[in-house]
């Protein structure tokens, strides 16, 4: 479960805390239609909550209090209820994060393959220095993650949506150089 | 296995036969490999008849507990007038386990077919495949396969022209190991926090949306079409030892081993041959030391115990551990067991949903003590405290996550006590050297 909000960091201004929130599910929008379709899959529309939050995070980069209110309105629950759900799961960002969100698995099977050294290499080469902080240029945030379900390809690293497998410290500069 | 290595001649690739073949992901490619014949047949059978075949096959749940699948299905009261649901558990987050990911990303139609058959067999018109949020690639592959299956009328309002409705949907999780626990999964799917529910009521009585529900692991469901195609006797015959364990099983092997990956062998295979022959033995210059054979939630065993193990549900129990999810974590002589077990405890502390005091406090406390020992600041009393804690954490909580934290740790301390004592003694001598603090 999520242990408190992800650490705040310096972020690209488009995602910043103080920027006004632009609703995702405006009437007639593609997202609005997508959500309406999704709701028909379930006998209770609240079941579309996790998917709706995914849409917001996808479009806005993170889930703000205003977003929680919007999603709550769409699905007939309070913003406080939505917040309770958001804070349970580790993948919803409650603060802006770097353009490339880098998650290194360090759970035991990966640890015994040297995952701790991979974390160090990412912290060094991204300039993030500390876990959970975003680099000064807003490009990177590095965190440790629990088992990614790819333990046979140690060390797996998730960069935004994608897995990169069999990562060693030596490969880190090349991986970073390959990111847009 | 087929991916990332070629299948070993001693494997029995049934579920993994088409791993690594991109064409198997498409509907056409899947049909060319015999896909959807079992479903076509099943849709014209009575649900109870399917349950009976699965019962006779001896198939047991591959998600961890090994509960007989046909028996589980028979708890669903067909014709009670209520909507029934099937949930495919694709939350796969147990450390050491990465087999369901391969099933989904190489053979998505195998899971869809298994879901559709199982749904019909329990009187459900809707199945949800709950996939952990991190699994972007498997989710995309599954979604693409579902689009194809729906467009071809294999699933939907009138599945394969049978007049029966079978809908299958993917539902994406958002990061929480606990959502693999079946009642937490149902809460999560309903748009709630993923807290496990108190049982009873059991899911077959009141599950998803308060309706009768069956939850099965991905691997369990993927085995079902093969059983219908080839018969219960064929499946039952895949058994080298105890007749209560039948069929083929996918093992994920990771850690300090020459060839990590997924391997599929029949029940009753020798663990020694498995480790040294199929998995290539230890890394050059190293020796195997310890294993956690069923995902991180089961007791730790020594390599000597592992070499004496028969790979089936009963065989692992006979060595004081469990088959669990089939996620084999291997540690060699270069690893520090205190460090690895501390990291495992930290996993459980991080993943506890925090509803139960014993679990919330116990997992955190156990982690703190173990990390203290690893840092060279532990005491002999700390070891006793861990044993007491584990006892207080076992059998007393809403779900078994709490028990799972103590299982590998306590057995690990018992079997590798010397490593813990060396760290503790190291502290003592340094204290003496530095003087009284
Ligand atoms: C903490 C916890 C995590 C679990 N995680 C998973 C999981 O990721 N996948 C899974 O199939 N079963 C998992 N299980 C077991 C499920 O609760 C359930 O027994 C299983 O999905 C039933 O399917 P089966 O009968 O086909 O094995 C977990 C159980 C617990 C207590
Ligand atoms: S045992 Fe732990 S994870 Fe399970 S319900 Fe209790 S607090 Fe949550
Ligand atoms: S432990 Fe790292 S992916 Fe499973």
Question: pLDDT digit string (tens) for A17-47?
Answer: 778 899 999 999 999 999 999 999 999 999 9
Residue B327 pLDDT exceeds 80: yes
CATH topology of domain A100-177: Glutaredoxin (3.40.30)
Residue-level pLDDT at B434 = 44
Q: How many CB atoms lie within 10 A of CB A3?
A: 11
Three-state DSSP state, B345: helix
* Contact between A1 and B134 using a beta-carbon 8 Å cutoff: no
Which of B174, B204, B172, B203 shows the shortest CA–CA distance to B186? B203
Residue-level pLDDT at A6 = 44
Residue-level pLDDT at B366 = 98
Residue A129 pLDDT exceeds 70: yes
Which of B346, B98, B408, B367 shows the shortest CA–CA distance to A144? B346
Residue-level pLDDT at B426 = 85
Instruction: Tell me the pLDDT band of B4, cut-offs 50, 70 and 90.
Output: confident
Residue B402 pLDDT exceeds 50: yes
* Contact between B343 and A75 using a beta-carbon 8 Å cutoff: no
Residue-level pLDDT at B3 = 79
The DSSP letter of residue B208 is: G
pLDDT in tens, B47-83: 999 999 999 999 999 999 999 999 999 999 999 999 9
Instruction: Tell me the pLDDT band of B196, cut-offs 50, 70 and 90.
Output: very high
Residue B433 pLDDT exceeds 60: no
Name the closest ligand to CA B177: 1
Instruction: Tell me the shortest Cα–Cα distance from A125 to chain B, in angstroms.
Output: 24
Which of B246, B213, B229 shows the shortest CA–CA distance to B110? B229
Instruction: Tell me the pLDDT band of A16, cut-offs 50, 70 and 90.
Output: low
Q: What is the mean pLDDT of residues A84-109?
A: 97
* Burial of A20 from C-beta contacts in 10 A (0-12 / 13-18 / 19+): exposed
Residue A10 pLDDT exceeds 60: no
Residue A1 pLDDT exceeds 50: no
* Contact between A89 and B194 using a beta-carbon 8 Å cutoff: yes
CA of A2 from ligand 3 middle (Å) equals 18
Q: What is the mean pLDDT of residues B164-177?
A: 98
Residue B435 pLDDT exceeds 80: no
Sheet holding B301-302, edge to edge: B261-266, B248-255, B327-332, B288-292, B301-302
Three-state DSSP state, B392: helix
Residue A12 pLDDT exceeds 80: no
Q: How many CB atoms lie within 10 A of CB B153?
A: 12
Those of residues 23-82 in B touching chain A at CB distance below 8 A are none
Start-end of H helices in A1-146: 30-39, 49-60, 65-75, 79-86, 108-111, 115-126
Residue-level pLDDT at A5 = 42
CA of B128 from ligand 1 middle (Å) equals 15
Residue-level pLDDT at A41 = 97
Among partner residues B101, B169, B252, which is closest to A41 by beta-carbon distance?
B169
Residue-level pLDDT at B124 = 98
Which of 3.40.228.10, 1.10.10.1590, 1.10.10.60, 3.30.70.580 is the CATH number of A15-88?
Answer: 1.10.10.1590
Helices (H) and strands (E) in chain A, counts: 7, 4
Name the closest ligand to CA B353: 2
Q: What is the mean pLDDT of residues B379-386?
A: 97
Residue scoring higher pLDDT (A163 or A12)? A163
Instruction: Tell me the shortest Cα–Cα distance from A124 to chain B, in angstroms.
Output: 23
* Contact between A149 and B98 using a beta-carbon 8 Å cutoff: yes
Residue A160 pLDDT exceeds 50: yes
Domain chopping of chain B, boundaries: 34-236, 248-332, 337-435
Domain chopping of chain A, boundaries: 15-88, 100-177
Residue scoring higher pLDDT (A12 or B28)? B28
Q: What is the mean pLDDT of residues B130-144?
A: 98
- β-pairing verdict for B85-90 and B126-131: parallel
Among partner residues A1, A91, A150, which is closest to B351 by beta-carbon distance?
A1
Residue B432 pLDDT exceeds 60: no
Q: What is the mean pLDDT of residues B221-245?
A: 98
Which of A66, A93, A76, A73 shows the shortest CA–CA distance to A4? A93
Residue-level pLDDT at A4 = 41
Q: Which CATH architecture has domain B248-332?
A: Roll (3.10)
Instruction: Tell me the pLDDT band of B428, cut-offs 50, 70 and 90.
Output: low
CA of B96 from ligand 3 middle (Å) equals 6
Residue-level pLDDT at B427 = 72
Q: Is the ipTM of this complex over 0.85?
A: yes
Phi and psi of B155, rounded to 5°? Answer: -120, 165
Residue-level pLDDT at B431 = 46
Query: Structure tokens of B389?
Result: 């804690």
Residue A13 pLDDT exceeds 50: no
* Contact between B190 and A44 using a beta-carbon 8 Å cutoff: yes
Q: What is the mean pLDDT of residues A99-108?
A: 98
Name the closest ligand to CA B354: 2
- Which of A2, A84, A87, A151 is the mutation pick for testing B, counting most B CBs within 10 A? A151
Residue-level pLDDT at A8 = 43
Which of 3.30.230.10, 3.40.50.11540, 3.60.15.10, 3.30.450.40 is the CATH number of B34-236?
Answer: 3.40.50.11540
Contacts of B342 (CB under 8 A, 6+ apart): B367, B370, B371, B373, B374
Among partner residues A49, A90, A111, which is closest to B175 by beta-carbon distance?
A90
Average predicted confidence (pLDDT) for chain A: 92
Instruction: Tell me the shortest Cα–Cα distance from B83 to chain A, in angstroms.
Output: 10
pTM over 0.80: yes
Residue-level pLDDT at B2 = 67
Q: What is the 3-state secondary structure (H, E, C) of B352-378?
A: CCCCCHHHHHHHHHHHHHHHHHHCCCC
Please say whether the structural domain B337-435 has been given the CATH code 1.20.120.790: no
Residue B437 pLDDT exceeds 50: no
């Amino acid at each position: 479960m999520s242990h408190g909000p992800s650490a705040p960091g310096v972020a690209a201004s488009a995602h910043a805390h103080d920027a006004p929130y632009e609703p995702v599910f405006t009437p007639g929008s593609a997202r609005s239609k997508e959500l309406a379709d999704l709701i028909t899959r379930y006998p209770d529309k609240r079941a579309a909550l996790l998917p709706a939050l995914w849409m917001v995070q996808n479009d806005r980069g993170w889930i703000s209090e205003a977003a929680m209110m919007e999603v709550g309105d769409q699905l007939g629950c309070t913003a406080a209820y939505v917040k309770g759900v958001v804070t349970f799961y580790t993948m919803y960002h409650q603060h802006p994060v770097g353009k490339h969100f880098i998650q290194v698995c360090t759970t035991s099977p990966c640890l015994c393959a040297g995952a701790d050294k991979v974390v160090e290499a990412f912290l060094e080469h991204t300039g993030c220095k500390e876990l959970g902080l975003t680099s000064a240029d807003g490009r990177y945030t590095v965190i440790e993650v629990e088992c990614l379900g790819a333990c046979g390809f140690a060390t797996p690293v998730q960069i935004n949506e994608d897995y990169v497998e069999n990562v060693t410290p030596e490969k880190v500069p090349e991986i970073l150089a390959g990111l847009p | 296995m087929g991916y990332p290595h070629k299948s070993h001649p001693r494997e029995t690739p049934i579920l993994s036969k088409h791993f690594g073949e991109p064409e198997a992901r498409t509907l056409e490619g899947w049909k060319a490999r015999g896909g959807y014949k079992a479903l076509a047949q099943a849709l014209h059978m009575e649900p109870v008849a399917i349950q009976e075949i699965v019962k006779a096959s001896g198939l047991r749940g591959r998600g961890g507990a090994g509960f007989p699948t046909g028996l589980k299905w028979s708890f669903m009261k067909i014709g009670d007038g209520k909507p029934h649901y099937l949930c495919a558990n694709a939350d796969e987050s147990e450390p050491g386990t990465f087999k369901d990911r391969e099933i989904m990303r190489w053979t998505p139609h195998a899971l869809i077919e298994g879901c559709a058959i199982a749904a019909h067999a329990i009187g459900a018109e809707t199945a949800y495949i709950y996939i952990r949020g991190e699994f972007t690639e498997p989710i995309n592959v599954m979604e693409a396969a579902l689009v194809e299956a729906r467009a071809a009328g294999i699933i939907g309002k009138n599945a394969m022209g049978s007049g029966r409705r079978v809908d299958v949907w993917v539902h994406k999780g958002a990061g929480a190991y606990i959502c693999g626990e079946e009642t937490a999964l149902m809460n999560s799917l309903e748009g709630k926090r993923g807290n496990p529910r108190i049982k009873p009521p059991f899911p077959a009585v009141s599950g998803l949306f308060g309706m009768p529900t069956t939850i099965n692991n991905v691997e369990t469901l993927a085995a079902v079409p093969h059983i219908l195609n080839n018969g219960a006797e064929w499946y039952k015959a895949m058994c080298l030892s105890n007749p209560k364990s039948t069929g083929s099983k996918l093992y994920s092997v990771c850690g300090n081993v020459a060839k990590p990956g997924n391997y599929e062998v029949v029940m009753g295979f020798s663990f020694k041959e498995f480790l040294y022959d199929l998995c290539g033995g230890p890394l050059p210059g190293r020796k195997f030391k310890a294993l956690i054979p069923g995902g991180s939630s089961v007791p730790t065993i020594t390599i000597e115990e592992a070499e004496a193990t028969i790979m089936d549900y009963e065989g692992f129990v006979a060595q004081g551990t469990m088959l669990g999810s089939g996620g084999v974590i291997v540690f060699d002589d270069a690893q520090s067991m205190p460090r690895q077990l501390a990291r495992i405890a930290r996993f459980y502390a991080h993943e506890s949903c925090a509803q139960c005091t014993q679990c919330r406090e116990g997992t955190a406390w156990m982690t703190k003590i173990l990390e203290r020992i690893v840092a060279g600041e532990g005491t002999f009393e700390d070891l006793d405290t861990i044993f007491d804690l584990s006892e207080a954490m076992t059998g007393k909580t809403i779900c078994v996550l709490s028990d799972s934290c103590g299982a590998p740790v306590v057995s690990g301390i018992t079997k590798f006590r010397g490593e813990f004592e060396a760290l503790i003694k190291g502290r003592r001598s340094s204290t003496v050297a530095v003087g009284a603090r």
